[in-house]
Amino acid sequence: METVKKIKNLFYYNPSSDIYVLEKKHSRILLSSSLLFWLNSIYGGYNYLNYNMKFNEIIFTNTILFLTSINYWRKPTYGFRRNIDISVAVINFCYNHSVISHCQYSWIYYLAMSGIVGFYGLSHFYHDKNRNLGCFFHFMVHLSANIGNFAVFNGLITTPTLYNYIYPNYLSILYDKFIKSSIIIR
């Protein structure tokens, strides 16, 4: 019966639910490690504004991940906030993977992403067995993600010439074909 209650709390928001995923001392550690996402976003924004860096959408997704992560780790209970945080983390992971996949030196990012997958597996494995180790490995998940994003924001991972040529012109081609032609017709 306890398992059914636990699974139900994963999918339905229950404001009276106070089943904490981690103790307060562990959640504070992961809350502070989530602050690294904000520092990374600020650094990416600085490089974007001053050095005309590409990948501005990764800055946006990283900032959304920061907001959901802070919102969850301030009070880590089973429920809606946890589902949103996990969903945003998975979407961020997949989106960044698709954007970075064609870039030069993308192996740096993939090394960090491999760390995320490995550390998350260890964190999940040790969650019930040893909370200190589980918390440490989840901290390493946050650190690996920030190292991968730092490599992108620092310019270590650069776009190939074809991406620089096609990406900015794609929106103007859509504008010329659809929007501009529909304005002329009217």
* Domain housing 141: 2-185
Q: Tens digits of per-residue pLDDT, 126-150?
A: 988 888 898 999 999 999 988 888 8
The stretch 91-98 carries a mean pLDDT of 84
Q: Is 159 helix (H, G, I), strand (E, B) or coil?
A: coil
Closest CA to 138 of 128, 149, 152, 124: 124
Residues in the chain, how many?
186
Domain count across the chain? 1
Which residues, in sequence order, are bridge partners of residue 20? 77
Residues 6+ apart with CB under 8 A from 38: 63, 66, 70
pTM higher than the cut 0.85 = no
- DSSP run (H or E) holding 56: helix 56-73
Q: Is the pLDDT of residue 103 over 80?
A: no
Contact 14, 79 (CB under 8 A): yes
